[in-house]
Amino acid sequence: MGKLGYLAKRLVRMDVKRLWRTIRHCSKASGKTFVGTALDMVRCAHLYLAAPADYALFEFYNLTPEQRATYVTRGINNQLVKKLNDKSLWHMFDNKDEFNTTFAPYIGREWIYLDPADFDAFSRFLKGKEVIFYKPRNSSCGWGIEKITLADEPDERALFERLCAKGEGLCEEAIIQHPEMMRLFPGSVNTVRLVTVNDGKEVSIVFAFLRVGNGRVVDNLNSGGMAAPIDPEIGIVTHPAADKDYKAYDAHPATGTAFVGFQIPKFDEAKSLVTEAAQVIPRMGYVGWDIAIGNDRLFLVEANSYPGHDILQLPPHVPDKIGLKGRIERFL
C-alpha cells in the first residue's frame, strides 16, 4: 500500500475522540500548539507511515526527521505483514485450538477445546491437575485469560458450564517455568518474544524481547505487563523493562530482580525452536513467537500473525532515539 492509500485507510477508520485526546497529550508533552502538533502528526503519517498512536508512543514530537525515519511504525509494520503473511492463513495463528493443533510438537502441554456437548472429555482433562488456564479461542493481548485453581472449584460440571458460557474457548494445563524466569516474577508465566522473518531463503530472528507480568497472571504489555529488549545473539537483557506508560524499571517492583544483564535460560534452544516452527507454514513469513522456558523443555505459548510493533521502540529502550527499522529494511 502506498503512502496515500495508507493515509486514506487510516482516515476512514479514525476514532476522532481518541485522536483529539492524543493530539492534546502530545501538544502538552511537547509544548507545541494543538494545531502545530496536529499538522506534525499528518506530516509523520505521510513521510513515515506513523499512526497518531505511534507519534505519541514513540514520542515523535521529540525526534528529528532523521531519527523518525529509523522507526518501525504501524504503516511499516503493515507493509511487512502484507508482503510476507498470507491473510487466508491468519486463522491458524489467531484461533488457539487451530494453532495448538498445527504446532503440536512445540506446545508441550495438555489442552482441550471446550465442547459444550462433551463434559466427560473435560472431566478426564482435569484429572491429576491442580491449576489450569482458560483462554478465549481468538482473543489477543492476554484478554479473557483466567487462571483456575481446581481446589477452589469442587463442582466440575458447574465449572464446565461456567466456562462454556463464556463462548468458544479452550483450557490448558499450567506451565511450570524455569526457576530463573520465576525469579523475575512468580505471578505470571514470563515469556520470550522472538520475531522471525522467513523470506523463503532463510529464517532470521529480527527482534527479541522479554515479557514479564506485573501484578496479573499475564505478561502482555497491553494487559499491565512490561517488556525489555534482549540481545538476539546471546540472550541477555540489555535495557531496563518498561510498561505501556513508558515507566522504566531497573528491577521488578515485586521481586527486586534486576533486568539489565539477566540471562535468559535455554535461549539458544528457544531460537532453534522458532527457527523450526517458522518453516511449518512458509506463507506466514513474519511472526512473533512467545516462548515459555521450563526446566526440561520449552513451551510455545502462542504466535502472532500480526506481530505488534509497539513493543519494539519504547522510549526507555532507545536512549539514542534510533529505532529498529534497520533490522527489517532488507525485507521491505
Residue 13: what pLDDT? 64
Residue 332: what pLDDT? 83
Domain match, 219 and 316 both: yes
% pLDDT > 90, the chain:
86
Residue 216: what pLDDT? 82
Phi, psi dihedrals of residue 136, rounded to the nearest 5°: -60, 150
Least-confidence region, from 7-11, 32-36, 230-234, 269-273: 7-11
Asked if residue 75 is part of any domain, the answer here is no
Quote the DSSP letter at residue 127. T
Q: Is the pLDDT of residue 6 over 60?
A: no
C-alpha to C-alpha distance for 20 and 37, rounded to whole angstroms? 11
Residue 72: what pLDDT? 97
Residue 268: what pLDDT? 98
Interval 205-213 mean pLDDT: 96
Domain match, 183 and 230 both: yes
Q: What is the CATH number of the domain that holds 146?
A: 3.30.1490.20
Asked if residue 79 is part of any domain, the answer here is no
Least-confidence region, from 96-100, 221-225, 263-267, 323-327: 221-225
Which residues pair with residue 303 across a beta bridge? Answer: 289
Q: What is the CATH number of the domain that holds 288?
A: 3.30.470.20
Interval 64-76 mean pLDDT: 97
As given in the structure block, the three cell numbers for residue 204 are 532470521
Residue 215: what pLDDT? 82
Residue 149: what pLDDT? 96
Asked if residue 130 is part of any domain, the answer here is yes
Domain match, 91 and 238 both: yes
- Do the Cβ atoms of 173 and 129 come closer than 8 Å? yes
Quote the DSSP letter at residue 87. G
Give the structural domain span for 48. 3-69
Q: Is the pLDDT of residue 7 over 70?
A: no
C-alpha to C-alpha distance for 191 and 285, rounded to whole angstroms? 21
C-alpha to C-alpha distance for 192 and 212, rounded to whole angstroms? 9
Number of domains in the chain: 3
- Do the Cβ atoms of 50 and 59 come closer than 8 Å? no
- Do the Cβ atoms of 26 and 37 come closer than 8 Å? yes
**Per-residue pLDDT band at 101 (split at 50, 70, 90):** very high
Quote the DSSP letter at residue 175. P
Q: Is the pLDDT of residue 4 over 70?
A: no
C-alpha to C-alpha distance for 125 and 156, rounded to whole angstroms? 11
Q: Is the pLDDT of residue 213 over 90?
A: yes
Interval 257-282 mean pLDDT: 98
Which residues pair with residue 288 across a beta bridge? Answer: 195, 304
pLDDT tens for 110-153 read 999 999 999 999 999 999 999 999 999 987 766 788 999 999 99
Place of cell 535455554: 266
